[in-house]
């Protein structure tokens, strides 16, 4: 599958009845649930979350910023995005509600400690993705 991450066209999402927020959805993550998750994200963090995810193919991906903007959901977002990025959802016909619940369960299973926590797992997941595909090790 394509391992590049290119921003897509701008879309509008209604955050509330009175406020409309402009976001840029990742081009190769074609899932309406991503927009729903962004709408459910805390505060006005949509653009910050997308800015973090646009760098998922880069060595300098900032997992700590993603963790902050998602209020503790970096492993969820990294896992969810990579499932779509690699076409696993489409290929295996994975129900998105099952994927959402699975990602949430994995993240919630991590204990709060100084090192082996869900932020560390998100960091390891992203860097493994980087080494294998954008870094070229899969060849």
- φ, ψ of residue 8 to 5 degrees: the values are -105, -170
Active-site residue, selected from the candidate residues 46, 69, 111, 116:
116
Residue 108 vs residues 18, 75, 76, 104: alpha-carbon distances, Å: 32, 10, 9, 6
Q: Which sign, positive or negative, has the C-alpha torsion 97, 99, 101, 103?
A: negative
Please confirm, yes or no, whether 116 is among the known catalytic residues: yes
Catalytic positions: 116
């Amino acid at each position: 599958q394509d391992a590049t991450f290119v921003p897509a066209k701008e879309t509008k999402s209604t955050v509330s009845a009175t406020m409309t927020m402009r976001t840029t959805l990742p081009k190769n993550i074609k899932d309406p649930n991503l927009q729903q998750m962004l709408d459910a994200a805390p505060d006005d963090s949509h653009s910050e979350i997308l800015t973090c995810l646009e760098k998922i193919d880069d060595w300098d991906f900032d997992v700590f910023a993603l963790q902050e903007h998602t209020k503790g959901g970096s492993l969820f977002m990294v896992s969810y995005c990579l499932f779509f990025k690699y076409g696993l959802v489409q290929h295996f016909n994975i129900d998105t509600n099952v994927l959402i619940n699975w990602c949430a369960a994995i993240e919630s299973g991590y204990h709060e400690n100084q090192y082996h926590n869900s932020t560390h797992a998100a960091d390891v997941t992203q860097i493994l993705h980087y080494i294998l595909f954008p870094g070229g090790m899969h060849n």
